[in-house]
Structure 1
Amino acid sequence: MKDRASGMADLSGDDLKAAVAAGIVSEAQAASIQALAAQRLAGRPAPDDEAFELFRGFAEIFITAGLLILMAGLMGLASAAGDSLAFCLIGVVLSIGFARYFTVRRRMVLPSIVLVSAFALSVMGAILALLLEKTGFGSDLQRLELLAGGGMLLALVGWYWWFRLPFTMFLIGLAGLFLGVALIAPYDLISLTTAQSPAELLSLTGGSRLGLATLVVGLVAALGGIWFDTRDPYRLGRASASAFWLHLIAAPAIMNTLGQTAMALEGPGRLLAMALVLAVMTVFALIIDRRSFLTAGLGYLVWLIWTLAYRNGAGLDWPMVLVLIGGAVTALGAWWVPLRAVLMRALPDFPGKDRLPPYAKGAL
């Protein structure tokens, strides 16, 4: 397979002029192509960066503050009716109505994130109010979890289909996590409050299925992120942004299980297992070129090490682990691009390799 660094042959201005002279394209079409190329080049992230956007200016923060105050006031007026189901349904209607303007017409990022979050909470509240107050499902915990999680998941999928908002994928991942726990370990979540150690329920060796649930959901989210990534390898559009949010769900969910399983071991095996988990996640992050995946997983792991060391009164093992992790992350951040190039050239061809982000030539 050819090195992806070479890519397609770039069209120059002379090529477009020749195409106009040959009658292949008109002058207007050639000008449009040049304008589109300039726009795509300006919007493309740097070769050693990963685009991330929460808002595009202070105007979005200002509008978001106004939206929160306005929606709080309107729903406060609606609460006078004293019907929780009606209250939540009004929240759903308000979220959709405002999104038709701020998401579809104005294409604002932060207001859209707030609106879809309000929509998700309103949908969940409406489902729970319906099930608990209007039906007899309240006594069946698993059925309640399945209907609530499934209903919110379907509603968020519909929102993504309608508004095409990438952040929706993050909420879809959370709803999928809730639904996965309801399917695989519906009663283990309650036991977290009484367990002596999270590893008893979250590790694969603890006898609980909760860790298996988070691992399965994390793998599904990672596959979904890869699916989006392969449709936008240059990371210029909505597919790449959607993949970013899925990877933020996938990494902590996977690390939740694998990290707790490693921490459940005793002696040197704990550090060796942790090192293996980090090595696998690092290689995977380099292959898909997603620092966000590795960062989210490492953030969870650092928190896990800290809490376990504090609870167990561990000695010098946790500072040493943090020093090693911090040093590795710093080195990866400094030499990510050449390291990925070396890794991708060393790997044999595999399905989808040519649809991943291009990798540059160059030595360390």
Structure 2
Amino acid sequence: MYSQQDLDDAVASGVITAEAANALRAHIEGQRSTAIPDEEQFRLITGFNDIFVSIAAAILLFAVGWIGQSIGQASNLTIDPRGPTFVAPLFIAATSWGLALYFTAKRRMALPSILLLLAFVGGVFATAMFALILGVGPDQVNGNDKLGGVLGAVSAAIAGGAAWLHWRRFHVPITVAAGAASVAGIVVGLLIAGLGGNAEQAKNLILGLVLFLGIGIFLFAMWWDSSDRARLTRRADVAFWLHLLAAPMIVHPIFTLLGLNNGSATLSEGLIVILLYIALGLTALAVDRRALLVSALAYVLWALADLFKRFGAVELNIALTALVIGSALLLLSAFWHQARGAIVRPLPESLREKLPILDRVAVTQPAA
């Protein structure tokens, strides 16, 4: 059994030509291919060893962080006597990069690569933030939204640079989403800094900016999707993680700005939540991405439970809500392709050409 990486290595070493390798790929894929519509496949694990390595890596990173925290406290490099230190996330980031050199670059393991990328970028961000706070003085930052916003933006910029370096070296699909999140952090941090001490009063403005950034990331994800409408390459995986990032950035500000998550809802507000969820569902069908539905699920569950309660089903409101939503989502999953066809086919051809192909072909493994 030869992997794609084995073929690439054989071409690089001159054992076979690139044309021969492509011909072999086409032949094997032609034998194994079958029509699997709208499955939204992405690579997460290749076997239980991925889970095993991820657990071991998480334990190691925890230990390294603990050691770094102890060293930082002993060296008086903490923000306060028992507070965090930049040494701990620095150790975590360095260890993550070192582990990625083997498990990502050589072994091509999906789940450990995702874990190590998040630990690396998160570690770089925390290192930069804690080091900057320590440099300017914790007392200067405490209660100073303007300075805090600037430090947050600078830290996000450094994390974004780290994500770019990681992408250049390893090309893990989730890295692009991590970079996009860093860019969003820069913009939000600068806005908070510009607002100075009025950040709390300008909460709606911040939410509006997050919504705008979420829409931008969604369009960026669609750009990646449109470049691989059949979803056969790594570009589709990049788009998946971008959609997963964009979804909560779009959904949460919309419902918050409409005042629909304050713990109590009127009948009209509950109906608005349901109508918005239907609109998100239609969008998810069109672009063949389920992230929007998952991100908004908590809101529609709350709205339906409140509606059932108002209609007198107090004891069964949670059960009825779970029954309705669970059944609806299962039916949608079972008939996803048919529902998507009904949404996509009436669209203008210019728009359809930017959406994923309705009848895609996926490669399946032969039965054992």
Q: Normalising TM by the smaller chain, what interval?
A: 0.7 to 0.9
Correspondence list, 1:329-340, <5 A: 329-340=329-340
Q: 2:100 corresponds to which letter in structure 1?
A: A
Counterpart-to-counterpart distance in 2, 1:207 and 1:30: 59
Do 1:116 and 1:168's aligned partners in 2 also have CA atoms closer than 8 Å?
A: yes
For residue 122 of structure 1, report the CA deviation from its aligned partner: 1.6
Larger deviation: 238-247 or 334-343? 334-343
Q: Could you say what secondary structure the match of 1:350 adopts?
A: helix
CA RMSD after TM alignment: 3.8
1:162 partnered with 2:169:
yes
- 1:37-72 per-residue CA deviation (whole Å, 9 max, x = no partner) reads 424775888214121333221212222233233344
Quote the residue 1:270 is aligned against: 269
Query: Which of 215, 232, 236 matches 1:219?
Result: 215
Question: Alpha carbons of 1:59 and 1:283: their partners in 2 closer, same or farther (altered >3 Å)?
Answer: same
| Contact preservation (8 Å) 1:229, 1:240 | yes
Count of residues in Structure 1 that have an aligned counterpart in Structure 2 = 319
1:332 aligned partner, one-letter code: L
Retained in 1: the 8 A contact 2:35–2:359?
no
1:80 and 2:71 equivalent? yes
The alpha-carbon deviation at position 239 of structure 1 amounts to: 0.8
Distance 1:149 1:315, change over 3 A: farther
Aligned to 2:236: 240
CA distance in 2, matches of 1:154, 1:57: 32
Structure 1 segment 185-334 matched on structure 2, within 5 A: 185=192, 208-260=204-256, 261=258, 263=260, 267-291=266-290, 293-302=291-300, 305=303, 309=306, 325-334=325-334
Residue identity opposite 1:96 in structure 2: W
Rate the CA distance shift 1:90–1:190 in 2: closer, same or farther, 3 A.
Answer: farther
Q: 1:273 to 1:155 in 2, by over 3 A?
A: same
Contact preservation (8 Å) 1:44, 1:235: no
C-alpha distance in 2, partners of 1:216/1:119? 27
Q: 1:60 pairs with 31, 50, 64, which one? A: 50
Q: Give deviations 1:242-261, integer Å, cap 9, x for gaps.
A: 11111112122211122231
Which secondary structure does the structure 1 equivalent of 2:227 belong to?
coil
Pick the aligned partner of 2:154 from 126, 147, 157: 147
CA distance in 2, matches of 1:131, 1:59: 39
- CA deviation digits over 1:229-249, x for unaligned, max 9? 112111122111111111112
* One-letter amino acid of the structure 2 residue matched with residue 263 of structure 1: L
| TM-aligned CA distance change 1:280 to 1:239, over 3 Å | same
Counterpart residue type for residue 89 of structure 1:
L
* Separation (CA, whole Å) in 1 of partners of 2:60 and 2:66: 10
Higher relative contact order (CA 8 A, sep 6+): 2
Q: Is the Cα–Cα contact under 8 Å of residues 281 and 293 in structure 2 kept in the other structure?
A: no
Matches of 1:88 and 1:176 in 2, distance apart? 20
The Cα shift of 1:347 comes to 1.1
Q: Are the equivalent residues in 1 in contact too, given 2:188–2:210 (CA < 8 A)? A: yes
* Aligned equivalents of 1:149, 1:190: Cα separation in 2: 21
- Counterpart residue type for residue 251 of structure 1: A
Normalised TM-score (structure 2): 0.72
Alpha-carbon distance in 2 for matches of 1:86, 1:145: 18
Q: Which moved more, 1:140-149 or 1:81-90?
A: 81-90
CA change 1:175–1:89 in 2 (3 A) is: same
Please, which moves more after superposition, 47-56 or 118-127?
Answer: 47-56
